[in-house]
């Protein structure tokens, strides 16, 4: 998806930065041309400040998106994926695994889930970074409790898994 969106902004790198931020954060453009995170309006100036661009670049990006049928359909339907528990998991006694694997391989999540299920460990959350947006995509798995070493060894046996890191809070 990202490649087809990026192609529309080939001649405008600053506008591409705006589009990328909207997609990465699940920020949608309302029919009124305003930016929203869920139902919360995000001012253009805040987006501009984060990206170090003029607010007019944000406004022009929105106008361009709304004038393009395909982009309009994408950006008016985006939604935030919800809170990623990675950085607060330890406060709740959860485990956190960061898995690097071939992002084009099939069955990574299934293999990880199977290894955890065999050990009686339930999954609280899974977040897979998009390889088109992140050059080093990771699979973040939040578990109900810490994952013991022998389960990590089973996960490392899943085809195309390159590494597993236990993230400490």
Provide the Cα torsion 57, 46, 70, 73; round to 10°: -150
Q: Is the pTM of this model over 0.85?
A: no
In percent, how much of the chain has pLDDT > 70?
A: 99
Q: How far apart are CA 107 and CA 157, in angstroms?
A: 12
> Which one of 75, 104, 127 terminates a domain?
75
> Which one of 75, 100, 131 terminates a domain?
75
Q: What is the end-to-end Cα distance of the chain in Å, rounded?
A: 33
Q: Greater confidence, 134 or 163?
A: 163
**Domain, as residue range, for 110:** 89-166
Same domain, 103 and 142: yes
Same domain, 101 and 155: yes
**Is 80 contained in some domain?**
no
Number of domains in the chain: 2
| pLDDT tens per residue across span 16-65 | 999 999 999 999 999 999 999 999 999 999 999 999 999 999 999 999 99
Q: Could you tell me the CATH number of the domain that includes residue 161?
A: 3.30.70.260
Band of pLDDT at residue 149, cut at 50, 70 and 90:
very high
**Is 141 contained in some domain?**
yes
Same domain, 160 and 99: yes
> Which one of 34, 52, 75 terminates a domain?
75
Average pLDDT over residues 110-126: 98
Average pLDDT over residues 98-123: 97
**Is 84 contained in some domain?**
no
């Amino acid at each position: 998806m990202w490649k087809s969106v990026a192609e529309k902004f080939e001649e405008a790198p600053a506008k591409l930065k705006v589009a990328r931020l909207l997609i990465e954060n699940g920020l949608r453009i309302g029919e009124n041309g305003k930016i929203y995170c869920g139902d919360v309006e995000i001012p253009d100036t805040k987006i501009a400040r984060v990206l170090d661009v003029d607010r007019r670049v944000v406004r022009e990006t929105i106008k361009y998106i709304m004038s393009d049928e395909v982009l309009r359909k994408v950006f008016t339907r985006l939604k935030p994926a919800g809170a990623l528990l990675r950085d607060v998991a330890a406060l709740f006694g959860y485990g956190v695994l960061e898995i690097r694997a071939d992002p084009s391989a099939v069955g990574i999540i299934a293999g990880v889930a199977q290894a955890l299920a065999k050990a009686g460990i339930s999954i609280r959350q899974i977040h897979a970074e998009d390889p088109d947006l992140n050059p080093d995509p990771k699979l973040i798995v939040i578990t109900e409790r810490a994952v013991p070493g022998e389960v990590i060894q089973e996960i490392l046996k899943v085809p195309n898994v390159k590494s597993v890191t236990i993230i400490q809070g």
